[in-house]
A and B are shown apart, each in its own frame.
Chain A
Amino acid sequence: MNTTTLPAPARVTLRVHWSDRLAHVALAGVALVLLAFLAAPLLAILIKSVQDGDGRWIGLKNFIDYARSPALLQSLWNSLWVSALVTVITVPLAFGFAYALTRSRMGFKKLLRGITLIPLLAPSLLSAISLIYWFGNQGVLKAWMQALGIDQIYGAPGIVMAEVFALFPHALMILVTALTTADARLYEAADAMGTSAARKFWTITLPGAKYGLISAALVTFTLVITDFGIPKVIGGNFNVLATDVFKLVIGQQDFQKGAVVALLLLAPAVLTFSVDHLVQRKQTAMLSARAVPYRPKRVPWFDALMQAYCLLIALLMLAMLGMAIFASFAKFWPYDLSFSWNHYRTGLVEGEVATGFVNSLLMAAGTALFGTTLVFVGAYLLEKTHGGGPLRGGVRMLSMLPMAVPGLVLGLGYIFFFNEPANPLNSLYHTLTLMTVCSIVHFYTTGHLTAVTALKALDAEFESVSASLKVPFYKTFWRVTLPICTPALVDIARYFFVNAMTTISAVVFLYSPETKVASIAILNLDEAGDTGAAAAMALLIAAASTVATLLFMGLSWLVERRTQQWKA
């Protein structure tokens, strides 16, 4: 070693306080969970896709085989055009509704908004079941549909209609947010210059909601292409990627090709997610300016028009729900429509939904409890502590990743990864624990973003003040951050609970006879031709979700009341 050279001036790094060290360890813990239950399963899919049945490396052969199989290519094409069509229908419909909610003075806004949330409370297949009763082989309005030139509901028409219904609330939520953030001053300036209403719409409203529209379209497209429940129920012989994965993996046990299709499903999701991420960044930049909230003026003819439109949509939503309710109580559709509990009895007893229901509740409760804890701690460590180097960037990325991973793909990854006998976590396979973890990871990003938003709203200097007062961060977390963020926590827990209750795709590969959840049991009932029981059970899930939502709302009301004392 050459001792004569002068030492380079050392870069100063602050000594790490023991409490910061603690934060780093906790962050590493979050990273480990996300690596084991998100990154590793996805990697397993990737590996599986380039191996043959005996685990030998065969390069892209599986992909080439796939490209040479016309049936599978047909599914790819089907998936693409159906998703595109649903997007083109849903987004304008939802935009109209969002426009009415934010820019008109029509009545019953809260009620109408509430009705549009119905599809979120039940598994998505409820709309498909309902459509079967309306337009199926023995549907009440089958003749109307045929008069429109649609031969039968099974297949693309059914999928498109059911998906529009199921995705309407998702698109609506994004568009309402986009339209709410309008700056009233722009409209005042336009009015001062005597601008016509149409010109205002094209030059202010639409450009302002541009990013919301892009975002809504991307989300709709992705959710449709990755949805499994609806095509399974009403798809008939019309194959799409999501049902292909299921058939390849469960039916033919062809894991390699299943992995290829899963990657195909992952591709559009990752793509839309990346675009959406970019778009969102631009939108936040736009919002940073101080805007004056827009308040709509009363315009009788316009308000009446909007009211009529929203009532129509709400009526269609209620018709979907109503038909499912009606059919679930009908003794023997369509011959004997008298009231009976038969379907509920069949479903709960023979369909094993009763045990499934308990499993569902357990899973939903677990997801809500542990998911909220993990998400909030993770978001807190990311937002409010510092140091930790690449760990921080890694956790940030892993927290956003689940948004881009369809439930079906995640579930498949879990099979590949946890069903591997060499995996020390192998004992988790088929357990309710693993299904709970899978749900947590599947819905992680939305919870994460809610937590981040809540945390960002807090003064950025709380932690600095605490450090100057020599109070370790976890005490401030407990005494200040957590109490202030309780409403957001309740929100996250509700989101986790309802989604875990209704999810199918995330757990369809993971259940065993003992751990079958209600949503899966419903799918099995429908497969066995017992549509009435399936409808009944889907409604039970919807009821449970509604009760849970009401309970969570009550909880947040209590929290609000407690925090009222320190709010101005």
Chain B
Amino acid sequence: MSSAYLKLAGIRKDFGSFTALRDIRLDIAKGEFVCFLGPSGCGKTTLLRIIAGLEAQTAGRIELAGRDISVLPPAQRDYGIVFQSYALFPNLTVADNVAYGLVNRRVPRAQAQQRVDELLKLVGLPGSQGKYPAQLSGGQQQRIALARALATKPGLLLLDEPLSALDAIVRVHLRQEIRALQRQLGVTTIMVTHDQEEALAVADRIVVMNHGVIEHVGTPMEVYRDPGTPFVADFVGRINVLPARLVEGHHVVFAPNGAMPFHCPHDGAAGSEVKVYLRPEDVLARPIAPGDSNVFEAQIEKIEFLGSYCLVQVRSAALGEHRLSVVLSLNFLSEQHLEVGARLPLRLLPERMRIFS
């Protein structure tokens, strides 16, 4: 895919004897919104800083818009960047902050001012030109930082955990706005985040990273529904992990002494020890029709109330020793008078069971 707008090839980063990134290969298309997702220390921020030229890769090649930028200093690349800390210049007004990169390019004053007005409108803060950053809320400051990064019309927008310092509600609101803005401007965007919900909500594609390598690249749906590795399954969303043994005829038995085989399409050798990954919402309490496969009777052990739904932990002879978490709606629980100790039939969705050895 040589048409990639940003091309990373064989990126490696060593800090002394520690390898922070190894053999990162990634192509990002023009206009795409990509999230680097992973736990802290996975190398996602380092990778972003390498793309920005704030950090030098130990080896590897970076191309931006067909231009080899591997060894160029930041000022000779073409990007805008927004940091978690906003990094607004506190002694300059909002207008001066946004125009910071324009002034240096000898953009005529009137034109710069017009661009500032336009950008402030774009980020939803028209009329704030004369204010100082300290007079704005965190969310507002981050919008200004966004406007500043976009002012020079860069080809690439880099967002380094831009929402992590904000309150939960502001965070959700602003991430939708960033997404809408990105769509409107069509600017290729990379956002680093450790918040999987954030990544799922805004990204065209998610790059899940762990221990300096890319674990999985895919659309949010792919990453969630069809995780490439156990780590991805575990890191993105909630998931049950059940040790099991494969048996003939596309079935598994939960080890060590599950009472019944479950249907599950797999092509592994019978007898091999595996782990079955299954999301709580893929365990159904209804509708269950007579004759459905994978139905078993479970007993409620614990109910964790989480607002509109509950996370219910059940046990069953069918599962052997293991416990299973199931998402059930509050309405369902009260309608069926289900409490701790109650019994109910449940069904495991065969096509949703992921098997990793």
Q: Which residues of A519-553 have CB atoms within 8 Å of chain B's CB atoms?
A: none
Q: Interface size for chain B: under 10, 10 to 19, 20 to 34, or 35 or more residues?
A: 35 or more
Q: Given A17-B76, A566-B90, A568-B134, is A12 in contact with B56 using a C-beta cutoff of 8 Å? A: yes
Query: Hey, what's the 0/1 contact readout for A462-479 against B, CB within 8 Å counting as 1?
Result: 101111111110011001
B104 interfacial by beta-carbon distance below 8 Å: yes
Contact A13 B56 (CB under 8 A): yes
Question: How near does chain A come to B89, taking the closest CB pair, in angstroms?
Answer: 5
Q: In the complex the two chains form, what is the Cα distance from A472 to B53 in whole Å?
A: 15
Q: In the complex the two chains form, what is the Cα distance from A17 to B77 in whole Å?
A: 11
Which chain B residues lie closer than 8 Å to A462 at the CB level? Answer: 87, 89
Which chain A residues lie closer than 8 Å to B265 at the CB level? Answer: none
Q: Given A14-B71, A17-B75, A469-B104, is A566 in contact with B59 using a C-beta cutoff of 8 Å? A: no
Interface centre among B86, B91, B100 (most CB of A within 10 A): B91
Which chain B residues lie closer than 8 Å to A459 at the CB level? Answer: 83, 85-87
Contact A467 B74 (CB under 8 A): yes
Closest A residue to B134 by beta carbon equals A568
Contact B91 A563 (CB under 8 A): yes
Chain A interface helix/strand/loop/mixed: loop
Contact A566 B104 (CB under 8 A): no
A290 interfacial by beta-carbon distance below 8 Å: no
Contact B81 A11 (CB under 8 A): no
Interface centre among A466, A470, A472 (most CB of B within 10 A): A470
A483 interfacial by beta-carbon distance below 8 Å: yes
A-B contact pairs, 22 of them (CB 8 A): A12-B56, A12-B57, A12-B71, A14-B53, A20-B73, A459-B86, A465-B148, A466-B100, A467-B54, A467-B75, A468-B74, A468-B75, A469-B80, A469-B100, A470-B101, A470-B152, A472-B104, A479-B92, A566-B91, A566-B134, A567-B90, A568-B134
Q: Given A462-B87, A479-B92, A566-B132, is A470 in contact with B58 using a C-beta cutoff of 8 Å? A: no
Q: Write the residues of chain B forming the contact surface with A, with a CB cutoff of 8 angstroms.
A: 52-54, 56-60, 70-77, 79-81, 83, 85-87, 89-92, 100-101, 104-105, 132-135, 148-149, 151-152, 154, 158
Q: In the complex the two chains form, what is the Cα distance from A479 to B75 in whole Å?
A: 18
Shortest beta-carbon contacts, A-B, top 6: A469-B101, A568-B134, A467-B74, A17-B73, A461-B87, A566-B132
Which chain B residues lie closer than 8 Å to A16 at the CB level? Answer: 73
Contact A15 B72 (CB under 8 A): yes
Q: In the complex the two chains form, what is the Cα distance from A532 to B54 in whole Å?
A: 63
Which chain A residues lie closer than 8 Å to B92 at the CB level? Answer: 479-480, 566
Q: In the complex the two chains form, what is the Cα distance from A20 to B73 in whole Å?
A: 9
Which chain A residues lie closer than 8 Å to B152 at the CB level? Answer: 469-470
Closest A residue to B53 by beta carbon equals A14
Q: In the complex the two chains form, what is the Cα distance from A13 to B59 in whole Å?
A: 9
A177 interfacial by beta-carbon distance below 8 Å: no
Q: In the complex the two chains form, what is the Cα distance from A461 to B70 in whole Å?
A: 21
Which chain A residues lie closer than 8 Å to B73 at the CB level? Answer: 14-17, 20, 467
Interface centre among A19, A460, A468, A476 (most CB of B within 10 A): A468
Which chain B residues lie closer than 8 Å to A19 at the CB level? Answer: 75
Q: In the complex the two chains form, what is the Cα distance from A568 to B132 in whole Å?
A: 8
Question: How near does chain B come to A482, taking the closest CB pair, in angstroms?
Answer: 10
Which chain B residues lie closer than 8 Å to A565 at the CB level? Answer: 132
Q: In the complex the two chains form, what is the Cα distance from A12 to B13 in whole Å?
A: 10
Which residue of B56, B100, B132 contacts A471 across the interface (Cβ within 8 Å)? B100
Contact B104 A475 (CB under 8 A): yes
Contact B87 A468 (CB under 8 A): no
Which chain B residues lie closer than 8 Å to A461 at the CB level? Answer: 83, 85, 87
Which chain A residues lie closer than 8 Å to B133 at the CB level? Answer: 566
Question: How near does chain B come to A423, taking the closest CB pair, in angstroms?
Answer: 40
Which chain B residues lie closer than 8 Å to A469 at the CB level? Answer: 80, 100-101, 104, 148, 151-152
Contact A11 B59 (CB under 8 A): yes
A9 interfacial by beta-carbon distance below 8 Å: yes
Which chain A residues lie closer than 8 Å to B57 at the CB level? Answer: 12
Which chain B residues lie closer than 8 Å to A566 at the CB level? Answer: 90-92, 132-134
Q: Write the residues of chain A forming the contact surface with B, with a CB cutoff of 8 angstroms.
A: 9, 11-17, 19-20, 459-462, 464-472, 475-476, 479-480, 483-484, 563, 565-568
Which residue of B60, B74, B104, B134 contacts A12 across the interface (Cβ within 8 Å)? B60
Q: Given A11-B58, A17-B76, is A465 in contact with B134 using a C-beta cutoff of 8 Å? A: no
Q: Given A484-B90, A563-B91, A566-B134, is A468 in contact with B71 using a C-beta cutoff of 8 Å? A: no
Closest B residue to A15 by beta carbon equals B71
Question: How near does chain B come to A480, taking the closest CB pair, in angstroms?
Answer: 5
Which chain B residues lie closer than 8 Å to A479 at the CB level? Answer: 89, 92
Closest A residue to B55 by beta carbon equals A14
Closest A residue to B135 by beta carbon equals A568
Contact B71 A13 (CB under 8 A): yes
Contact A468 B52 (CB under 8 A): yes
Question: How near does chain B come to A40, taking the closest CB pair, in angstroms?
Answer: 34
Question: How near does chain B come to A331, taking the closest CB pair, in angstroms?
Answer: 57
Which chain A residues lie closer than 8 Å to B70 at the CB level? Answer: 12
Which chain B residues lie closer than 8 Å to A20 at the CB level? Answer: 73
Q: In the complex the two chains form, what is the Cα distance from A137 to B75 in whole Å?
A: 73
Contact A468 B149 (CB under 8 A): yes
Which residue of A9, A14, A475, A480 contacts B59 across the interface (Cβ within 8 Å)? A9
Which chain A residues lie closer than 8 Å to B77 at the CB level? Answer: 468
Q: In the complex the two chains form, what is the Cα distance from A41 to B58 in whole Å?
A: 41
Q: In the complex the two chains form, what is the Cα distance from A133 to B89 in whole Å?
A: 56
Which chain B residues lie closer than 8 Å to A476 at the CB level? Answer: 89
Contact A14 B72 (CB under 8 A): yes
Q: In the complex the two chains form, what is the Cα distance from A459 to B82 in whole Å?
A: 13
Question: How near does chain B come to A516, taking the closest CB pair, in angstroms?
Answer: 44
Question: How near does chain B come to A17, taking the closest CB pair, in angstroms?
Answer: 4
Q: In the complex the two chains form, what is the Cα distance from A123 to B81 in whole Å?
A: 53
Closest B residue to A19 by beta carbon equals B75
Contact B79 A468 (CB under 8 A): yes
Q: A468-B74, A470-B101 given; name 11 further pairs at CB < 8 Å.
A: A14-B73, A15-B76, A459-B86, A464-B52, A465-B100, A468-B149, A469-B100, A469-B152, A475-B104, A563-B91, A568-B134
Which residue of A13, A460, A465, A484 contacts B91 across the interface (Cβ within 8 Å)? A484
Q: In the complex the two chains form, what is the Cα distance from A475 to B101 in whole Å?
A: 11
Which chain B residues lie closer than 8 Å to A483 at the CB level? Answer: 91
Question: How near does chain B come to A112, taking the closest CB pair, in angstroms?
Answer: 34
Closest B residue to A473 by beta carbon equals B75
Q: In the complex the two chains form, what is the Cα distance from A456 to B89 in whole Å?
A: 15
Closest A residue to B77 by beta carbon equals A468
Which chain B residues lie closer than 8 Å to A460 at the CB level? Answer: 85
Contact A465 B81 (CB under 8 A): yes
Which chain A residues lie closer than 8 Å to B56 at the CB level? Answer: 12-14
Which chain B residues lie closer than 8 Å to A466 at the CB level? Answer: 100
Q: In the complex the two chains form, what is the Cα distance from A565 to B101 in whole Å?
A: 23
Q: In the complex the two chains form, what is the Cα distance from A480 to B89 in whole Å?
A: 6
Q: In the complex the two chains form, what is the Cα distance from A548 to B81 in whole Å?
A: 45
Contact B135 A12 (CB under 8 A): no
Q: In the complex the two chains form, what is the Cα distance from A567 to B72 in whole Å?
A: 37
Contact B71 A464 (CB under 8 A): no
Question: How near does chain A come to B61, taking the closest CB pair, in angstroms?
Answer: 9
Q: In the complex the two chains form, what is the Cα distance from A39 to B158 in whole Å?
A: 45
Question: How near does chain B come to A403, taking the closest CB pair, in angstroms?
Answer: 29
Which chain B residues lie closer than 8 Å to A568 at the CB level? Answer: 134-135
Which chain A residues lie closer than 8 Å to B154 at the CB level? Answer: 468
Question: How near does chain B come to A541, taking the closest CB pair, in angstroms?
Answer: 37
Which chain A residues lie closer than 8 Å to B71 at the CB level? Answer: 12-15
Q: In the complex the two chains form, what is the Cα distance from A258 to B90 in whole Å?
A: 53
Which chain B residues lie closer than 8 Å to A11 at the CB level? Answer: 58-59
Contact B81 A464 (CB under 8 A): yes
Q: In the complex the two chains form, what is the Cα distance from A468 to B73 in whole Å?
A: 9
Which chain A residues lie closer than 8 Å to B60 at the CB level? Answer: 12
Which residue of A12, A13, A14, A470 contacts B105 across the interface (Cβ within 8 Å)? A470
Question: How near does chain A come to B28, taking the closest CB pair, in angstroms?
Answer: 18
Q: In the complex the two chains form, what is the Cα distance from A563 to B134 in whole Å?
A: 12
Which chain A residues lie closer than 8 Å to B75 at the CB level? Answer: 17, 19, 467-468, 470, 472
Question: How near does chain A come to B46, taking the closest CB pair, in angstroms?
Answer: 14
Q: In the complex the two chains form, what is the Cα distance from A15 to B70 in whole Å?
A: 9
Interface centre among B56, B87, B132 (most CB of A within 10 A): B87
